[in-house]
Structure 1
Amino acid sequence: MLIQCYTTLGWILFYSLSPLLLWIPLSKRRYRDHFRERLGLLPLPRLKALGGGPRFWIHAVSLGEVKAAEAIAQAIRKHVPDAVFVVSTITPHGRRLAESVFKQQAVVVHSPLDAAPCVKRALKAVRPDVLVLLETEIWPLWVAAAERMHIRTAIVNGRISPRSIQRYVKLRAFFRPVLERISLFSMITAADRDRILAMGAPRERVVVNGNAKYDLLGKSIRAEDKDRFRRLLSLEEGQPVIVAGSTRTGEEKSILKAFERVRKAFPEAVLVIAPRHLERVREIEALVKRAGLPCELRTGLDGVGRRRSAPVVILDTFGELFSLYSVATLAFCGASLVPLGGQNPLEPAAWGKMVLYGPSMEDFTDARALLEGAGAGETVQDGDELAERIIWYLSHPGTREERAAKGRQAVLQNLGAAERHALEILKLTGPFTL
């Protein structure tokens, strides 16, 4: 009953707000791009050109989910070579990455609005055998529309964060009928399994298969990336480099204060700050200058004869953070000194780097446990402790390298989740039942 009400409300809102929906794309470029796809008007000629194999629609919101989608799609295609993929994203960065990694092997589209007419139109155009929603993308109208069309739906690489579970449980009366319409819940950890069960998922449809995001890490390591960044940053042999990745508002001040202390012990040290959102680059540049530190933008280092001279570099390019970790002596993962759940610490660990992070790592508890079990990850409570641990590890290179090597080994030994998720998805390609 609640789902029917939600669906009806979606139709009412769509038609009552339709004049606004027509005005939005005319107002700003970022809304205008791909707006037809948001209305469910997907590129039919490209869809028809994909071929006649089993169809899988994978919904990947942003960058991390796109990486998981790539790994899962590769695993599916290994078993079903003529598989056809449609990949939908929401963010511009996610779309660009999807277009880059899938190229002609999938149709990449902007996801339709969660409004009944848009969802119905899009699903009717694609007619997937399985609709794969990654991580926590539980869209009630998508699920209801797919069920009516006899399209199986799967939550894959599923995770429910400790920060959100209480809110979900309070809305269990709403979520339970949605989850009952989903054929598969292939979760990352046992804790994620327990949380989705608490929300009302049928127990017999829930399995645990690990994190597919990590499966591409070993394959993504390229020696030429390390050489390129060493040249770009004009690094001397043994020069300490601290890479602070995916930083968020409120963290850079602490990182800069820590770096000032590090420079007193290691004057040749270099700090590279990679903000999670590129629109904050100018804000961070101003923070660095107010701290009295010279800084340069990564884009300013391109070109023949240009050499880095400043101790601080701000990464103002898209998609280079993973490769940048190759030259790190130590890595810090952002969104963790502020209560935002952290970022993926296994990316620097895959390069064989010791990783530091703040206390807020709720979104990566499995990765954190893996690294800390190997001694290759460590929590710092604030900027002062961050400075102390950086100085300690720079002063003890043998211990640092030994622990980092164990972290890399732990990452490589825990691959294979994408294959397990893929096999579960392929089980759904038979006759439709719930």
Structure 2
Amino acid sequence: YLFVETELWPNLLWHLRRHGVPTALVNGRLSTRSFTRQQWAPVRSFYRTMLQTLSLCLMQSDRDVDRIVALGAEASRVRRTGNIKFDQPIPVVVEGGVTRAHLGLQDTDQLFVAGSTHLGEEEILVECYRMLVARCPSAVLLLAPRHIERAESVEAMIRARGLAVQRRSAIGQAGVVQSTGPRVVVLDSRGELATIYREAVVAFVGGTLVPIGGHNLLEPAQWAKPVLFGLYTDHCAEIADLLIQAGGGRRVLQAEDLTQQVISLFSDGEERERMGRSARQVVEQNRGALQRTLDAIERLMTPQQGTSGSPLANRSLPLMAGRS
């Protein structure tokens, strides 16, 4: 039984253990919040017993290895295989896919993409854009709320601040006047953000200016874009550190810092290119987690010479996969 990241179902794990079915945690991670909660005295023993049923724990980082062992996983069954997200393929731009025209962009427009944003971040980003467009009139802000059902309220907030705004779904529709000049595009569609980062001059990844923990920093990095993010990166801590160390990403500590960094990067093409190359290099240098994961699972399922064999050796069982 394979499951991704860290959603554990005690009754299922114990049932699988009784029936001799190996269980493997794939791309495992433990946020600070989860780690702290599981150390609470009333649940510590219960959680330790549950973790000891696992056949294999394949973790994203050294921090995750240390945490799951501290919580009770058998150290000999824990491996650091890296983050599978580094192995995600670059989105293929297919015919009929999203283009600059679908976003209402002119040839001279320069796009600032803020992806996977949350309440409390959009307001900061809009004020940042006000300052940016005063220096760079060709700049266009694309806001991609993490939850697209918030698109209407985000649009209303932008209008209330006196800025032109359009939803992605309305651009190109008959009878809709297309905006030009300074404006904000609200992405209210699913599955397009990863490709849209390709069009960015600078990218910001949300869930990091408010205490959410951060979203996928690798999506803009794989397109060789400078990546900005806030203080709250617990869910992507290792990736954030790697981007900062390589010079492909920058952490912004407050609204003023974000504005300063965005204006600086829009004004310095050479620095943008250098940061983008470094961000892409982080992705390329850390690939291989998927293969290491497959190798570890294969070893788990293969009988060892001189032993009675794997629990899978003498019978055919379905391979199941769950995810958090």
Asked whether the 8 Å contact 1:226–1:323 carries over to 2, the reply is no
Give the superposition deviation at 1:303: 4.9
Question: SS of the residue aligned with 1:317?
Answer: coil
The residue aligned with 1:149 is 19
Q: Is residue 220 of structure 1 aligned with residue 90 of structure 2?
A: yes
Question: SS of the residue aligned with 1:185?
Answer: strand
The residue aligned with 2:315 is none
Structure 1 residues 354 and 225, CA, compared in 2 at 3 Å: closer, same or farther? Answer: farther
Q: Is residue 432 of structure 1 aligned with residue 302 of structure 2?
A: no
Please give the alpha-carbon distance, in whole angstroms, between the structure 1 residues aligned to 2:174 and 2:246: 42
Asked whether the 8 Å contact 1:169–1:198 carries over to 2, the reply is no
The residue aligned with 2:166 is 296
CA deviation map 1:301-336 (0-9, x unaligned) = 245897741511111111111011010100000000
CA deviation map 1:252-273 (0-9, x unaligned) = 1111111111111111210011
1:362-401 correspondence runs (5 A) = 362-401=234-273
Please give the alpha-carbon distance, in whole angstroms, between the structure 2 residues aligned to 1:250 and 1:142: 39
The residue aligned with 1:422 is 294
Please give the alpha-carbon distance, in whole angstroms, between the structure 2 residues aligned to 1:329 and 1:239: 10
Asked whether the 8 Å contact 2:108–2:138 carries over to 1, the reply is no
Please give the alpha-carbon distance, in whole angstroms, between the structure 1 residues aligned to 2:177 and 2:274: 32
Question: SS of the residue aligned with 1:243?
Answer: strand
CA deviation map 1:190-239 (0-9, x unaligned) = 110000011000010000000112202xx324355898421222434453
Give the superposition deviation at 1:407: 1.1
Please give the alpha-carbon distance, in whole angstroms, between the structure 1 residues aligned to 2:18 and 2:189: 43
Asked whether the 8 Å contact 2:142–2:185 carries over to 1, the reply is yes
Give the residue type in structure 2 aligned to 1:362.
D
Question: SS of the residue aligned with 1:133?
Answer: strand
CA deviation map 1:155-189 (0-9, x unaligned) = 11000112321111223211111011110000000
Please give the alpha-carbon distance, in whole angstroms, between the structure 1 residues aligned to 2:94 and 2:130: 31
Larger relative contact order (Cα-Cα within 8 Å, sequence gap ≥ 6) = 2
User: TM-score under structure 2 normalisation?
Assistant: 0.88
Q: Is residue 354 of structure 1 aligned with residue 226 of structure 2?
A: yes
Structure 1 residues 245 and 384, CA, compared in 2 at 3 Å: closer, same or farther? Answer: same
The residue aligned with 1:187 is 59
Q: Is residue 406 of structure 1 aligned with residue 291 of structure 2?
A: no
Give the residue type in structure 2 aligned to 1:199.
L
Asked whether the 8 Å contact 2:227–2:279 carries over to 1, the reply is no
The residue aligned with 1:159 is 29
Aligned with residue 197 of structure 2, among 302, 325, 332: 325
Please give the alpha-carbon distance, in whole angstroms, between the structure 2 residues aligned to 1:183 and 1:306: 58
The residue aligned with 1:250 is 120
Give the superposition deviation at 1:243: 0.6
Give the residue type in structure 1 aligned to 2:168.
R
Asked whether the 8 Å contact 2:98–2:192 carries over to 1, the reply is no
1:186-205 correspondence runs (5 A) = 186-205=58-77
Asked whether the 8 Å contact 1:156–1:185 carries over to 2, the reply is yes
Please give the alpha-carbon distance, in whole angstroms, between the structure 2 residues aligned to 1:371 and 1:275: 23
Give the superposition deviation at 1:432: 2.0
Asked whether the 8 Å contact 2:113–2:203 carries over to 1, the reply is yes
Please give the alpha-carbon distance, in whole angstroms, between the structure 2 residues aligned to 1:414 and 1:305: 48
Give the residue type in structure 1 aligned to 2:258.
L
The residue aligned with 2:7 is 137
Q: Which runs of 5+ in 1 are unaligned?
A: 1-130
Please give the alpha-carbon distance, in whole angstroms, between the structure 1 residues aligned to 2:233 and 2:123: 19
User: TM-score under structure 1 normalisation?
Assistant: 0.66
In angstroms, what is the RMSD of aligned CA positions? 1.9
Please give the alpha-carbon distance, in whole angstroms, between the structure 1 residues aligned to 2:172 and 2:195: 16
Please give the alpha-carbon distance, in whole angstroms, between the structure 2 residues aligned to 1:236 and 1:298: 15
Aligned with residue 186 of structure 2, among 288, 311, 314: 314
Structure 1 residues 400 and 382, CA, compared in 2 at 3 Å: closer, same or farther? Answer: same
Give the superposition deviation at 1:149: 2.1
CA deviation map 1:104-141 (0-9, x unaligned) = xxxxxxxxxxxxxxxxxxxxxxxxxxx11111111111
Give the residue type in structure 1 aligned to 2:79.
V
Q: Which runs of 5+ in 2 are unaligned?
A: 303-309, 313-324
Question: SS of the residue aligned with 1:164?
Answer: helix
Q: Identity over aligned residues, as a percent?
A: 37
Give the residue type in structure 2 aligned to 1:147.
R
The residue aligned with 1:109 is none
The residue aligned with 1:334 is 206
Asked whether the 8 Å contact 1:187–1:209 carries over to 2, the reply is yes
Please give the alpha-carbon distance, in whole angstroms, between the structure 2 residues aligned to 1:223 and 1:138: 36
Q: Which runs of structure 1 show a deviation greater than 6 angstroms over 4 or more consecutive aligned residues? A: 304-307
Aligned with residue 273 of structure 1, among 143, 154, 166: 143
Structure 1 residues 225 and 306, CA, compared in 2 at 3 Å: closer, same or farther? Answer: farther
Aligned residues: 301
Please give the alpha-carbon distance, in whole angstroms, between the structure 2 residues aligned to 1:381 and 1:291: 24
